[in-house]
């Protein structure tokens, strides 16, 4: 669990200065971590209406500019992390940090096994594991607001009438395939991010800030604003986060890392 302080230091040292350039231009930050080659996209600052506060205009949130992984972390990328941090092996991870299904799709401690999932998003990882992976790269998990803000961007080249909720609800409508598709297999949004919806759920840093259960959640599910389709799609996400704990691992739950712009 404990990171060698020097490696963190070197990491930070290696970080290229991020140029605040054109909004949609990708800011590459390729790091010398085995095969981990993570392209980060610069997400411009902006305003964002959190779903659960939709009824109250005053609670529009400001999101500062930040970097977000172009795609979810893959099994192959996560393997590099496990090799470099043996305390995160399947057989070594303390139960405080991950439940029994941690990396259960892999063949062994440092063996993905099925080659077909190498480029699929890594799933069955706990919040702690995702958090540790991002830390290892000098990054962090995106906040719930950051994630929602970035995920709300429209699909690139979408029909003028196309609506994000169609992608989301379409994903809900189909059972999880036996082999998860590879990253960058669904759609890219106008920010340049791949698969924000329609491939896997994704951990966010403060998923445990969702507190829907205080009475207006089960019986009056429509109470948080109008029952439009976008609300429904978002409701599923918030309900999913609500049901999680940080040690849980789920076969359709992955993550991507974020980073501050300094």
Partner 1 sequence: MKKSSSPKGILQTTAVLLLAGFAMSLITACNQAGGTKPAPNDTATVIGEYTADLTHAPFVPVARNYPKTEKVIVNIEVVEKVMKLSDGVTYTFWTFGGTVPGPFIRVQEGDEVELHLSNNPNNKMPHNIDLHAVNGPGGGAEATLTVPGHTSTFSFRVLNPGLYVYHCATAPVGMHIANGMYGLIQVEPRGGLPKVDKEFYLMQGEFYTKGKNGAPGLQPFDMDKAIKEQPEYVVFNGAVGAASGNNALRANVGDHIRLYVGNGGPNLASSFHVIGQIFDTVFQEGGSEANHNVATTLIPAGGAAIVEFTCKEPGTYSIVDHSIFRAFNQGALAQLVVAGNADKVVYSGKISDELYQPGGAVATQEPADPAAPDLPLAERFKQGQQLFEMNCSSCHQSTGMGMPGAIPPLAKSDFLMKRSDEGIGILLNGINNEPIIVNGNHFQGVMPKLSLSDDQIANILTYVRNSWGNKSLVVQEKQVKKARNQ
Partner 2 sequence: MKKILTIGAITIGMIASSCHGKQLVTNHISCCPPTGTTAPITIATTLQAQSSIYQLTGKWTDEHNQSLELRDLKGKVRVIAMIFTHCTYACPRLVQDMKAIADSLPAAEKNKVGFVLVSFDAQRDDPAQLARFASQQGLDDHWTLLHGDPRQIRELSMVLNVKYQDAGDNTYTHSNAILILDKQGSVIRSLEGLEAQTSVADNEINRLVNR
Closest CA to 54 of 237, 239, 234, 225: 225
**What is the dihedral angle through the alpha carbons of 159, 164, 170, 171, rounded to the nearest 10 degrees?**
130
* 209 sits near partner 2 (criterion: CB under 8 A): yes
Q: Angle of helix 127-136 relative to helix 5-14, nearest 10 degrees?
A: 60
Dig out the tokens for 103 from the structure: 């990396």
What mask, x for binding partner 1 by CB under 8 A, covers residues 52 to 91?
xx-xx--x--------------------------------
Cα(81)–Cα(100) distance, integer angstroms? 19
* 13 sits near partner 1 (criterion: CB under 8 A): no
Considering only 12-20, 107-115, 187-195, 246-254, which stretch makes contact with partner 1 by CB under 8 A? 246-254
Cα(253)–Cα(23) distance, integer angstroms? 29
147's contact among partner 2, partner 1, none, with CB below 5 to 8 A by partner kind, is: none
Site for partner 1 (CB under 8 A): which residue of 5, 22, 32, 219?
219
What mask, x for binding partner 1 by CB under 8 A, covers residues 107 to 146?
----------------------------------------
Binding to partner 2 in span 229-258, by CB under 8 A:
245-247
Task: Considering the complex, state which of residue 39 and residue 242 has its C-beta at the smaller distance from partner 2.
Answer: 242
Q: How many CB atoms lie within 10 A of CB 65?
A: 14
Site for partner 1 (CB under 8 A): which residue of 7, 23, 49, 252?
252
Binding to partner 2 in span 115-134, by CB under 8 A:
127-128, 131
**What is the dihedral angle through the alpha carbons of 126, 131, 137, 139, rounded to the nearest 10 degrees?**
140
133's contact among partner 1, partner 2, none, with CB below 5 to 8 A by partner kind, is: none
Distances 213 to 2, 50, 142, 224, 238 between C-alpha atoms, Å: 35, 17, 23, 13, 11
Phi, psi (5° rounding) for residue 133?
-60, -50
What mask, x for binding partner 2 by CB under 8 A, covers residues 55 to 74?
----x-x-------------
Task: Considering the complex, state which of residue 106 and residue 171 has its C-beta at the smaller distance from partner 1.
Answer: 171
**What is the dihedral angle through the alpha carbons of 220, 236, 126, 11, rounded to the nearest 10 degrees?**
-120
Phi, psi (5° rounding) for residue 26?
-75, 135
* 99 sits near partner 2 (criterion: CB under 8 A): yes
**Interface contacts to partner 2, rule CB under 8 A:** 1-2, 59, 61, 94-97, 99-100, 127-128, 131, 140, 205-206, 208-211, 213, 245-247
């Amino acid at each position: 669990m404990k990171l060698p302080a020097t490696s963190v230091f070197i990491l930070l040292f290696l970080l290229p200065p991020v140029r605040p350039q054109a909004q949609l231009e990708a800011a590459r930050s390729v790091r010398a971590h085995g095969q981990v080659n993570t392209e980060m996209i610069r997400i411009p600052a902006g305003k964002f209406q959190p779903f659960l506060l939709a009824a109250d205009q005053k609670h529009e949130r400001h999101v500062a500019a930040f970097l977000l992984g172009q795609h979810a972390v893959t099994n192959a990328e996560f393997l590099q992390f496990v090799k470099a941090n043996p305390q995160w092996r399947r057989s070594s991870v303390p139960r405080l940090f991950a439940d029994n299904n941690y990396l259960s799709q892999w063949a062994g401690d440092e063996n993905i096994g099925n080659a077909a999932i190498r480029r699929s998003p890594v799933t069955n990882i706990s919040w702690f594991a995702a958090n540790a992976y991002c830390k290892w790269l000098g990054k962090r998990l995106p906040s719930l607001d950051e994630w929602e803000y970035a995920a709300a961007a429209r699909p690139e080249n979408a029909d003028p009438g196309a609506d994000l909720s169609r992608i989301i609800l379409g994903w809900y409508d189909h059972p999880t395939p036996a082999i998860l598709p590879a990253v960058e297999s669904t759609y890219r949004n106008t920010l340049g991010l791949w698969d924000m919806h329609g491939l896997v759920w994704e951990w966010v840093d403060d998923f445990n800030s969702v507190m829907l259960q205080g009475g207006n959640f089960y019986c009056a599910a429509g109470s948080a604003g109008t029952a439009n389709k976008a609300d429904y799609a978002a409701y599923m996400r918030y309900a999913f986060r609500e049901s999680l704990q940080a040690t849980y691992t789920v076969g359709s739950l992955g993550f991507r890392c974020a980073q501050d712009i300094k």
